[in-house]
Amino acid sequence: MPDTKAINPLTAGMNITQTPQPCTLVIFGGGGDLTRRKLLPAVYNQALDGELPANFAVLGLAIEEMDDTKYREFARKGIEQFSRQPLNTAFWTGFEKRIHYLQGSFDNPDIYVQLKQRLEDIESQFSIPGNRVFYLAIPPSLIETCVSQLKAAGLVMPVDDNSAFSRIIVEKPIGRDLESARKVNATLCNNFAEQQIYRIDHYLGKETVQNILAMRFGNAIFEPLWNSKYIDHVQITVAEEEGVGTRAGYYDSAGALRDMIQNHILQLLSLIAMEPPWTMDADVIRDHRQNILNCLRPITSENFDQHVVRAQYGPGFHHGEDVPGYRREAGVAQDSVTETYIALKVFIDNWRWAGVPFYIRTGKRLGARDASIVINFRPAPHAIYQSPPGAANRLVINLQPKDGLELHLFSQGANQRAPAGSRSTQTLAPVQLDLDFDKRFGTERVGAYERLLLDVLAGRLNLFVRSDEQECAWRWVEPILDAWKADAQGPRTYAAGSWGPSASSAMIAKDNFCWAEEC
Ligand code: BG6
């Protein structure tokens, strides 16, 4: 029987002591998709689990015409459809009274005057001591306006004011390149202190992603092997089955490099490769992640062709059904050169990882949903056995949809014997040790947004990205974007439902490796 009350030993003891504080969560873009699918269900689940403070309220702010009653209806529908836990009607009746709405346009200064008044009313009704969290679930072009208007309206408390806090949460994408990211960060930092800014990368909120650190630094057995002497290469894959869906408006001008590599996947890479931190303090963790980004070998015109493959999905199949190619998706330009797939060969130029290639890839409309990290170890230095061709010792960290660890080893199979008189011809059988976290802990996973919202309320910054960390990632990604601008050929094509273009397999095959599903 799974021990449902067990504390996950992999994430326990992370020196996190603050608890969520009473506050009002103000959601700019309160009528949008992110709010309906993720934010309101996250708030609801945490409230239902008893994790939110009693004096807590939500104020949605958006252009859509709604009042409190209609907004509560909007919230209820979102929760019914997207919540981890079903709607509990008795609980909802009390909880919905804490949800409020203010209609208006973000570029109208009057709305900030009204916002201040509404906040004061809500705070006095629910005995909230003036703590405010502003969640910007809005297009990046509106960030500057919102942030400066909040400040101008006197809604931002100084960071050293102990009577109440103001915190701001910003969604990706922050910028399209280094320069625009710097601009957004400058605006944020001119109006809020860095400790008040929570830049969300929802991958950092996934428990499975946090388990990377817990596995590496909560166990002493991995560290001695975690370097170029024992690891010959690493693969990071985030494959999605879905196509662009209804998000073409954003995605067609972003592409896989901006959408996934610059943030989520470079974060995964940093967690896998970083040096052991001496504490879980936010700035220590963020410095360590950033050190890896600083060591990434630049992609230049000389190494570009050997290190980068970009592609776009053509027509194909998804679960046996015909699906259109990317250029035929609603809202996508028919001559779009946006990449929906990218594979990269990356080196981390430091002592630990010298010479170890990291192959990273992500794409939409691939053969299966799979996010995993495969650590491939070097063979035994002196072979007294034969191992099956292509097999290696591997540690596979499954992030989703499977969630667990696999250790691939070699073993003598039943009744196997080396031929009489031979010294070393016996072939070993590949075997696997499996740890399935869902089976082991038997508990339902708390969603990334739930965890991250609680962290903001508690003032924990570890799982949020600092401005310099983010700019480092852009600095490394930018030459790839520049090279594509100058490349008339555009992306290759792969069939929807496949595992990507053959050029990606060829890139890794040149180094005598194969992607995990091909080996
Ligand atoms: C988002 C990207 O940040 O992450 C999406 O914008 C992508 O394009 C999504 O589909 C993947 O997240 P998850 O949690 O489903 O792996």
| pLDDT for residue 3 | 39
Whose alpha carbon is nearest atom 10 of ligand 1? 240
CA angle 137, 370, 347 (to 5 degrees): 85
20 within 8 A of 52, measured Cβ to Cβ:
yes
Whose alpha carbon is nearest atom 15 of ligand 1? 240
Q: How far apart are CA 108 and CA 145, in angstroms?
A: 9
Residue 380 DSSP label: P
CA of 202 to the centre of ligand 1 (A): 8
pTM for the model: 0.92
CA of 59 to the centre of ligand 1 (A): 26
| pLDDT for residue 426 | 76
Beta bridge partners of 317: 322
Beta bridge partners of 245: none
* 148's tokens: 């400066």
What stretches of 10-108 show up as alpha helix (H) in DSSP? 33-34, 40-48, 68-82, 89-95
For ligand 1, is residue 259 a contact (CB within 6 Å)?
yes
Q: Kindly report each contact of residues 223-232 with a partner whose C-beta sits within 8 Å and lies 24 or more positions away, as own/partner.
A: 223/276, 225/377, 226/352, 227/352, 227/353, 228/352, 228/353, 228/354, 228/355, 228/356, 229/378, 230/377, 230/378, 231/356, 231/375, 231/376, 231/377, 231/378, 232/356, 232/376, 232/377, 232/378, 232/392
State which ligand 1 atom lies nearest to the alpha carbon of 259.
Answer: 6
* 241's tokens: 């089955």
Question: Which residue is listed with tokens 């009653």?
Answer: 69
For ligand 1, is residue 370 a contact (CB within 6 Å)?
no
- Among residues 100, 233, 264, 307, the one annotated as catalytic is 264
Residues 285/287/288/293 CA torsion (nearest 10 deg): 130
Whose alpha carbon is nearest atom 5 of ligand 1? 259
Whose alpha carbon is nearest atom 14 of ligand 1? 203
For ligand 1, is residue 171 a contact (CB within 6 Å)?
no
State which ligand 1 atom lies nearest to the alpha carbon of 263.
Answer: 3
CA angle 301, 507, 293 (to 5 degrees): 60
Please provide residue 88's backbone torsions phi and psi, each rounded to the nearest 5 degrees: -100, 105
CA of 256 to the centre of ligand 1 (A): 10
| pLDDT for residue 15 | 33
Whose alpha carbon is nearest atom 6 of ligand 1? 259
377 within 8 A of 231, measured Cβ to Cβ:
yes
Q: How far apart are CA 288 and CA 275, in angstroms?
A: 6
Task: Choose which residue among 251, 259, 261, 262 to substitute to test ligand 1 binding: the one with the highest number of ligand atoms within 8 A of its C-beta.
Answer: 259
Within 175-300, strands assigned E span 197-199, 231-239
Instruction: Characterize 374-384 residue by residue with b for buried, 16 or more Cβ atoms within 10 angstroms of its Cβ, and e for exposed.
Output: bbbbeeeeeee
CA of 180 to the centre of ligand 1 (A): 22
> Strand 231-239's sheet: what is its strand order?
429-436, 404-411, 394-400, 370-377, 231-239, 357-363, 341-347, 308-314, 492-495
CA of 203 to the centre of ligand 1 (A): 9
For ligand 1, is residue 240 a contact (CB within 6 Å)?
yes
Using DSSP's 3-state secondary structure scheme, residue 476 falls into helix
Burial of 432 (0-12, 13-18, 19+ CB in 10 A): exposed
Q: Is 319 a catalytic residue?
A: no
Other Cβ atoms within 10 Å of 345 Cβ, number: 22
| pLDDT for residue 419 | 61
Task: Enumerate residues 6+ apart whose C-beta is below 8 A from 187.
Answer: 143, 144, 147, 148
Distance of CA 263 to the CA centre of its chain: 7
CA of 368 to the centre of ligand 1 (A): 15
State which ligand 1 atom lies nearest to the alpha carbon of 254.
Answer: 6
For ligand 1, is residue 450 a contact (CB within 6 Å)?
no
CA of 448 to the centre of ligand 1 (A): 12
Q: How far apart are CA 81 and CA 75, in angstroms?
A: 10
Q: Tell me how far CA of residue 313 lies from CA of 333, 346, 497, in angstroms.
A: 14, 23, 9
State which ligand 1 atom lies nearest to the alpha carbon of 251.
Answer: 8
Q: How far apart are CA 428 and CA 409, in angstroms?
A: 10
CA of 328 to the centre of ligand 1 (A): 21
State which ligand 1 atom lies nearest to the alpha carbon of 400.
Answer: 16
| pLDDT for residue 9 | 37
- Note down pLDDT in tens along the chain; length 519 residues: 333 333 333 333 333 447 899 999 999 999 999 999 999 999 999 999 999 999 999 999 999 999 999 999 999 999 999 999 999 999 999 999 999 999 999 999 999 999 999 999 999 999 999 999 999 999 888 999 999 999 999 999 998 888 899 999 999 888 999 999 999 999 999 999 999 999 999 999 998 899 999 999 999 999 999 999 999 999 999 999 999 999 999 999 999 999 999 999 999 999 999 999 999 999 999 999 999 999 999 999 889 999 999 999 999 999 989 999 999 999 999 999 999 999 999 999 999 999 999 999 999 999 999 999 999 999 988 888 877 777 889 999 999 998 999 999 999 876 666 666 655 567 888 899 999 988 888 767 788 999 999 999 999 999 999 999 999 999 999 999 999 998 888 999 999 999 999 999 999 999 999 998 888
Q: How far apart are CA 139 and CA 328, in angstroms?
A: 25
